[in-house]
Amino acid sequence: MSDSNNNFEDLKRLLKLKQHEVPPPGYFNRFSGDVVSRIRAGDAGGRAGVLDGIQTGSPFLASIFRLLEARPSIIGGFATSLCLVLLVGVVLADRPENASAGPDFASTSGISDAAPALASTVPLATADNSGISISTNPVSSLQPVASMFGSQNPLFQNASFNSGQ
Amino acid sequence: MLAMSEPATVPDPNAPSGQLEGDLVRRARRGDLEAYDELVRRYQERIYATIYHMTANHEDANDLAQEAFIKAFSALKSFKGGSSFYTWLYRIAVNKTINFLKQRRNKYHISLNDIDFNAEHDPDLIALISDKTPQRDVNLSELQKKLNEALLKLSEPHRMVVVLHDVQGVSHEEIAEIVGCNIGTVRSRLFYARQQLQGYLADYIKS
């Protein structure tokens, strides 16, 4: 043990060399000025401040940020997967409309099956093309179902576009 | 010459410039940059030296030391005074340095400072080179390089304890407070780190 301690004394002597390492001349004369000018420039509220705030608030989040900083490929992979999710979202956002349109068309065709004569005489798509645009949204309750039974639906009122009549 | 060229002791917070540290901290907390400038001047050498000895790189030490002081200023409102400003500031610098070294993941770029003129007249170093070193032609610069390389082989917690105690002269109790562990851990880390260093530098310290 005493040998070990003696050796440590030699080691301590050697470590004294570290105390003789000095920065360039005049370095400390401008150090505090640099710090204060960076504070004045608002560096205290900058990126480092935010990360430090995160670190004190949530070490878990801070470790995630550190991991992302240390491995930029993770950020790249994350961004790519985000783009893919976005792309899939856009594609799927288009599909439900078409997908929902199918069954509704089927249901209208079902109505047509129920009343083939009516369906053949008054095709839905060509019911009236005289300047009235037809919505593709299924509004089955507004289809002339009631007229199928020969009685007028009291909720419906015939619209007249003739002014002054 | 500089504080880092002398065996370090804990600075008397009220000694330099005749300004009480508590007053300076209170003023700085209110946004008084002149007061904070005075605090920076008091501790800049020790904070810089600690970071430099941990990183063995002047540019990194400069950046980290500045960031530590900037962070301390922005966090002054959270400083409750439970410990001394010096210990609190040291803790910020140590945490910043450890985080930086973890990010760098052992990819060191050594950029060493020059050795001052006094080293050539330091009796301990003269004796070490002339009597103890088997490689008689070794010079101070080479010894400096070997020493820094050996330090960088230590893990960050072990290097930190050696730097704070054997280079900076900080007491075990203060290291425990700064690093956030108990004194027993500090002692055991110091012993292990010295043993490791002794092995790495065997050629330069063997009798």
pLDDT, tens digit, for every residue of A100-113?
554 444 444 444 44
Q: What is the rounded average pLDDT of the residues B151-172? A: 94
Number of H helices, E strands in chain B: 10, 1
pLDDT of residue A160: 63
Q: What is the rounded average pLDDT of the residues B149-162? A: 94
Which residues from A are below 8 Å from B33, CB to CB? 36, 39-40
Average pLDDT, chain A: 66
Annotated domain spans of chain B: 11-104, 119-205
- A42 phi-psi bin (left φ>0, alpha ψ -120 to 50, beta other): left
Judged by a CB distance cut-off of 8 A, whether residue B27 touches chain A is no
CB contact (8 A) between residue A14 and residue B115? no
Question: What are the angstrom distances between the C-alpha of A72 and each of A66, A78, B45, B186, B189?
Answer: 10, 10, 34, 35, 34
Beta bridge partners of B57: B111
How would CATH label the architecture of B11-104?
Orthogonal Bundle (1.10)
Higher model confidence: residue B29 or residue B121? B29
Confidence band of A1 (pLDDT split at 50, 70, 90)? very low
Please say if the pLDDT value at position B57 is more than 70. Answer: yes
Task: Report the half-sphere exposure of B184 (CA within 13 A, side-chain side).
Answer: 0
- Closest Cα in chain A, distance from residue B205 (Å): 6
CA A26 distance to own-chain centroid: 52
CB contact (8 A) between residue A22 and residue B99? no
Confidence band of B78 (pLDDT split at 50, 70, 90)? confident
For testing contact with chain A, the best of B6, B69, B132 (most A CBs within 10 A): B69
- Closest Cα in chain B, distance from residue A84 (Å): 29
Size of interface A-B (CB pairs under 8 A): 140
* CA closest to A45 among chain B residues: B74
Higher model confidence: residue B178 or residue B141? B178
Which residues from B are below 8 Å from A15, CB to CB? 147, 162, 166-167
Q: What is the rounded average pLDDT of the residues B167-173? A: 94
Task: Closest CB to B116: pick one of A7, A22, A44.
Answer: A22
CB contact (8 A) between residue B116 and residue A20? yes
pLDDT of residue B21: 86
ipTM topping 0.90: no
Closest CA to B76 of A52, A149, A96, A101: A52
pLDDT of residue B54: 94
pLDDT of residue B186: 96
A101-158 pLDDT, tens digit per residue, is 544 444 444 444 444 444 444 444 444 444 455 555 555 445 555 455 555 555 656 6
Which residues from A are below 8 Å from B204, CB to CB? 14
Q: What is the rounded average pLDDT of the residues B175-201? A: 94
- Please enumerate residues of A whose Cβ is less than 8 A from a Cβ of B: 4, 6-8, 10-24, 27-28, 31-36, 38-40, 43-45, 48-49, 52, 55, 66, 69-70
Q: 3-state SS of B14-52?
A: CCHHHCCHHHHHHHHHCCCHHHHHHHHHHHHHHHHHHHH
Q: What is the rounded average pLDDT of the residues A51-61? A: 59
CB contact (8 A) between residue B66 and residue A31? yes
Q: CA-to-CA distance for B180 and A110, rounded, in angstroms? A: 77
Report the share of chain B in percent with pLDDT over 90.
58
Please say if the pLDDT value at position A10 is more than 90. Answer: no
Q: What is the rounded average pLDDT of the residues B108-135? A: 72
CB contact (8 A) between residue A12 and residue B166? yes
Neighbouring C-beta atoms of residue B76, cutoff 10 Å = 19
For testing contact with chain A, the best of B17, B47, B74, B131 (most A CBs within 10 A): B74
pLDDT of residue A79: 87
Confidence band of B135 (pLDDT split at 50, 70, 90)? low
Options 3.30.160.100, 3.40.50.300, 1.10.10.10, 3.40.50.1000; CATH for B119-205 is 1.10.10.10
Confidence band of B63 (pLDDT split at 50, 70, 90)? very high
Query: DSSP states of B58-87 as a string?
Result: HHHHHHHHHHHHHHHHHTGGG--SSS-HHH
Q: CA-to-CA distance for B167 and B155, rounded, in angstroms? A: 16
Which residues from B are below 8 Å from A20, CB to CB? 5, 115-116, 118-119, 122, 125
* CA closest to B201 among chain A residues: A11
Q: What is the rounded average pLDDT of the residues B75-103? A: 90
pLDDT of residue B81: 79
Q: What is the rounded average pLDDT of the residues A53-62? A: 60
CB contact (8 A) between residue A14 and residue B128? yes
Confidence band of A59 (pLDDT split at 50, 70, 90)? low
Q: Tokens for B146? A: 């070997």
Judged by a CB distance cut-off of 8 A, whether residue B133 touches chain A is no
